[in-house]
C-alpha cells in the first residue's frame, strides 16, 4: 500500500493534489492486490478531480474486527444525505460534478463492486473538519491461535 501511495504522489501532484501517507498500523486481511490497487486509485482519481490544491491522505488500521483502508481528502465534501448514494452507478453528488469532461460517474461504483468481490465493503463518511473519507473495510484474518493477525497480508 505504501508503494502505491508513493507511486501516485507524482501523478496526482501534476493534477494539483498532494498525497501523504497517514498511519499504517499492521493488520491482516485477504485481498486481491490488483483490485485493491484499482479501488485506491479510483478514489484518489476522484479526489484529484474535485479537490484541486488539496491533500489526500491514505491510512491503514485495524478497527473493530476489520482492516480499514481510509482514503481522505480535504475538499468540499458532499452533503451527508448523499453519502449513501456515492457508490451508485452514474451518481454525482453535486451539480458542479455533472460535467461530462470530469468523468462518467463510474469510479466509486467500480470501487463498491470490487470490494464486494473481495468480501469487503466500501463506505463514505463526512469527517467533522470537512472533505470526504472513503473507507475500504475487510474482515481481519485470524492467525492459527485465533488472535487477529499482526502482519499486512494485502492491506
**pLDDT digits over 20-54, tens only?**
999 999 999 999 999 999 999 999 988 888 887 89
Give CA–CA dist 118/114, Å, rounded: 6
Residues 6+ apart with CB under 8 A from 114: 32, 35, 36, 38, 39
Per DSSP, 106 falls in state -
Choice between 76 and 57, residue whose per-residue pLDDT is larger: 57
| pTM score | 0.81
> How high is the pLDDT of residue 105?
60
Rounded average pLDDT over 129-145: 83
Is 2-139 in CATH node 3.30.565.10? yes
Least confident residue range of 44-53, 71-80, 87-96, 138-147: 87-96
Whether residue 93 is predicted with pLDDT greater than 60 in this model: the reply is no
Domains in the chain: boundaries: 2-139
Cα 144 to chain centroid, rounded: 29
Cβ 99 vs Cβ 80: under 8 Å: no
> How high is the pLDDT of residue 143?
55
Amino acid at each position: 500500500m505504501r508503494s502505491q501511495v508513493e507511486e501516485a504522489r507524482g501523478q496526482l501532484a501534476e493534477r494539483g493534489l498532494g498525497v501523504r501517507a497517514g498511519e499504517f498500523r499492521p493488520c491482516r486481511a485477504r485481498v486481491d492486490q490488483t483490485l485493491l490497487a484499482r479501488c485506491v486509485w479510483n478514489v484518489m482519481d476522484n479526489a484529484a478531480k474535485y479537490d484541486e490544491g488539496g491533500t489526500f491522505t491514505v491510512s491503514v488500521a485495524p478497527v473493530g474486527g476489520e482492516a480499514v483502508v481510509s482514503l481522505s481528502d480535504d475538499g468540499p465534501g458532499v452533503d451527508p444525505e448523499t453519502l449513501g448514494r456515492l457508490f451508485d452507478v452514474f451518481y454525482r453528488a453535486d451539480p458542479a460534478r455533472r460535467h461530462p469532461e470530469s468523468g462518467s460517474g463510474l469510479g466509486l461504483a467500480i470501487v463498491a463492486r470490487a470490494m464486494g468481490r473481495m468480501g469487503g465493503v466500501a463506505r463514505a463518511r463526512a469527517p467533522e473538519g470537512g472533505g470526504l473519507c472513503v473507507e475500504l473495510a475487510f474482515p481481519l484474518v485470524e492467525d492459527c491461535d485465533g488472535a487477529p493477525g499482526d502482519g499486512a497480508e494485502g492491506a
